[in-house]
Structure 1
Amino acid sequence: MKKKRPVLQDVADRIGITKMTVSRYLRNPEQVSAALQGKIAAALDELGYIPNRAPDMLSNATSRAIGVLLPSLTNQVFADVLRGIETVTDAAGYQTLVGHFGYSPEKEELQLRSLLGWNIDGLILTERTHTAASLRMIETAGIPVIEMMDSVSPCLDMAVGFDNVEAARQMTQAILQRGHRHTVYLGARLDERTLQKERGYAQAMREAGLEPKTVMMEAASSFTAGAMLLREAQKRYPQTDSLFCTNDDLAVGAMFECQRQGLRVPEQMAIAGFHGHDISKATTPQLATVQTPREQMGQEAASMLLARIRGEAVDCGPLDIGFTLSIGESI
């Protein structure tokens, strides 16, 4: 059974002061005397008081909270992005309200409706594709918005990210420069960035006079999925001698499958991933991957958003934070 929470009056009665004095302390401790500050803080701790911010957030001009919508809570990419965001928001005294939408624009719409109901001061999005209802709500809210993970696609307001197409093109070129000619692209989820990377891969293949070959699935990425997609590539394209994967999970799964099959990497099967997860440094051979500055991206996004909230001038053009190729030992 849900327990009755202590309220402001309980705290006031504990010390023998008015409820308004406790309320002033919670809004700004410096509004009460130093002696009372200590007493109120002790009473709040003893009672286990939990502030109810909802009325303030709904009535005040600012809530000191920002909304963050993430497509995945298990993907290390977005865990790193969120860590970067919170290093900035925590230091500025802002709360982050996080919603998860599983790469579904329709679910993003539901989560967005909920977040905007808390009178958030700004919004961080991780996709470019939004429903018409989401776009109307964002326009009605009239708050600063920043989109991440992509520095090229058109954005609603501000954006920070990198060029997924060019990153994929350069990694595919690196594979081909090592003499491989039957490179297959492995993708999952079929989200917009997976498709952007496919375009970059296909561009590099055609520039080399080669035919692009793709094997993709709608399910989420995993090591198991990487192994399965490699087997499917071998079935469809028996000459496959190299793989470019949309992320490191698929690449590592494919590498494990090569070991199971007795295939030498990179001599018999070259493999490259994307994002530079920690596991890419621990594999043998070390995985080739595109290093993306995810935590920096979160920091930049939060800094730009808070600057706009404070009324400061912010360049509306997308901020490209770049990427680097880590060739490793697997291609």
Structure 2
Amino acid sequence: MKKKRPVLQDVADRVGVTKMTVSRYLRNPDQVSAALRQKIAVALDELGYIPNRAPDILSNATSRAIGVLLPSLTNQVFAEVLRGIESVTDAHNYQTMLAHYGYLPEREEERLTSLLSYNIDGLILSERTHTARTRKMIEVAGIPVVELMDCVSPCIDMAVGFDNHQAARQMTQRIIAQGYRHVVYLGARLDERTLIKQQGYEQAMREAGLQPCSIMTNRASSYSGGGEMLRQAQRDYPQIDSVFCTNDDLAIGAAFECQRQGLSIPQDMAIAGFHGHDIGQVMMPKLASVLTPRETMGQIGAERLLARLRGETVSPSMVDVGFTIIPGGSI
């Protein structure tokens, strides 16, 4: 059985004030005197009081909670995005309610249904592809929404991100400029950003008069997966001299596979990744990658969401945080 939690009346009795006074303190401590604030704080600590937000939620008052839907909790990209979000929400006394959906729109719909049942004040999403019901629920909820990781695709409300297509195109152009002619794209998960990057890669290849070739899998990215995909690329495209990977995990796995085969990077095989993770920047040779400002993206997204909650006008609707090509030593 659940242990009975202390209630407001218990705190009030301990201090010798009314429940209303304690409630006022919990909403805004500055509304009570400094001496009383100290007494109430001590009583709350001694009793182990846990605030009950249900009455506020049921009365349609603000929940001071932001829903955050991420496609993965193991991907370092989204760990950094979340750190950026919470650096802002924590500073403004908002809680984040986190859920992940494994890159599946139908699961995103399920998780969103649950989050909205808690009367969240705003929503941060990580994709542009949503089910019709997800879009309808967001419309009915009438709360501000920020979509991250892309600044080009049409958004529901607000967006903060970068141009995935242009980033992939520019990295491919950099590889070609180094003299490589048989660049193969390695993509995993087949999520929308992986496919957009593939399109950017293909455009750069065709602009250079070269034939685009891809190895794609719907499995999650991993170091071992990168090695497997490089071996498959070598079988399918024997002339391969370089790979451009949808993320650094695949790129580092491909680099390990080159080491196993005794191939020299970049002389025998050039390798480029995406996102500029720290591990790629300390390997030898340093991994060429597209550096994306994930934490900044989360911060700006959260700031714009909270600005809307304060009733402020937020313009423009989409913010481009840009990207940086890191040439490294692997191309």
Q: Which runs of 5+ in 1 are unaligned?
A: none
The reply to whether residue 104 of structure 1 matches residue 104 of structure 2 is yes
The reply to whether residue 197 of structure 1 matches residue 220 of structure 2 is no
- TM-fit CA distance, 1:99: 1.3
Which residue pairs with 2:265 in the alignment?
Answer: 265
CA contact (8 A) 1:159 1:316 kept: no
Alignment of 1:163-174 (within 5 A): 163-174=163-174
Partner-residue secondary structure (3-state), 2:184: strand
Alignment of 1:125-140 (within 5 A): 125-140=125-140
Which residue pairs with 2:40 in the alignment?
Answer: 40
Which residue pairs with 1:295 in the alignment?
Answer: 295
**Amino acid in the other structure paired with 2:196:** Q
CA distance in structure 2 between the aligned counterparts of 1:298 and 1:127, rounded to whole angstroms: 14
CA contact (8 A) 1:157 1:316 kept: no
- TM-fit CA distance, 1:21: 2.4
- TM-fit CA distance, 1:93: 1.8
**Amino acid in the other structure paired with 1:151:** C
Partner-residue secondary structure (3-state), 1:4: coil
**Amino acid in the other structure paired with 1:136:** K
Which residue pairs with 1:324 in the alignment?
Answer: 324
Q: TM-score, normalised by structure 1?
A: 0.97
CA contact (8 A) 1:68 1:96 kept: yes
Alignment of 1:278-317 (within 5 A): 278-317=278-317
Alignment of 1:1-331 (within 5 A): 2-331=2-331
CA distance in structure 2 between the aligned counterparts of 1:142 and 1:98, rounded to whole angstroms: 20
Identical residues among aligned pairs (%)? 72
- TM-fit CA distance, 1:122: 1.2
CA contact (8 A) 1:73 1:79 kept: yes
Partner-residue secondary structure (3-state), 2:74: coil
Partner-residue secondary structure (3-state), 1:274: coil
Moved more, 56-65 or 185-194: 56-65
CA contact (8 A) 1:165 1:199 kept: yes
- TM-fit CA distance, 1:150: 0.5
Post-superposition Cα deviations, 1:226-247, rounded to whole Å, max 9, x if no partner, equal: 1111111111111111000000
**Amino acid in the other structure paired with 1:330:** S
- TM-fit CA distance, 1:181: 0.8
**Amino acid in the other structure paired with 1:121:** D
**Amino acid in the other structure paired with 2:279:** I
**Amino acid in the other structure paired with 1:321:** V
Partner-residue secondary structure (3-state), 1:240: coil
**Amino acid in the other structure paired with 1:164:** N
Moved more, 14-23 or 167-176: 14-23
CA distance in structure 2 between the aligned counterparts of 1:30 and 1:17, rounded to whole angstroms: 16
- TM-fit CA distance, 1:59: 1.8
- TM-fit CA distance, 1:17: 3.0
- TM-fit CA distance, 1:316: 4.0
- TM-fit CA distance, 1:61: 3.1
CA distance in structure 1 between the aligned counterparts of 2:10 and 2:278, rounded to whole angstroms: 49
Post-superposition Cα deviations, 1:62-111, rounded to whole Å, max 9, x if no partner, equal: 22221111111111111111111111111122111111111111111111
Partner-residue secondary structure (3-state), 2:230: helix
CA distance in structure 2 between the aligned counterparts of 1:317 and 1:11, rounded to whole angstroms: 46
**Amino acid in the other structure paired with 1:125:** L
CA distance in structure 1 between the aligned counterparts of 2:246 and 2:58, rounded to whole angstroms: 41
Post-superposition Cα deviations, 1:270-305, rounded to whole Å, max 9, x if no partner, equal: 000000111111111000000001111111111111
CA distance in structure 1 between the aligned counterparts of 2:92 and 2:27, rounded to whole angstroms: 16
**Amino acid in the other structure paired with 2:112:** L
CA distance in structure 2 between the aligned counterparts of 1:238 and 1:81, rounded to whole angstroms: 38
**Amino acid in the other structure paired with 2:136:** R
Q: Which runs of 5+ in 2 are unaligned?
A: none
Aligned residues: 331
Partner-residue secondary structure (3-state), 2:61: coil
Provide closer, same or farther for how the CA distance between residues 316 and 58 of structure 1 changes in structure 2, counting only shifts above 3 A: farther
- TM-fit CA distance, 1:211: 0.9
CA distance in structure 1 between the aligned counterparts of 2:73 and 2:58, rounded to whole angstroms: 27
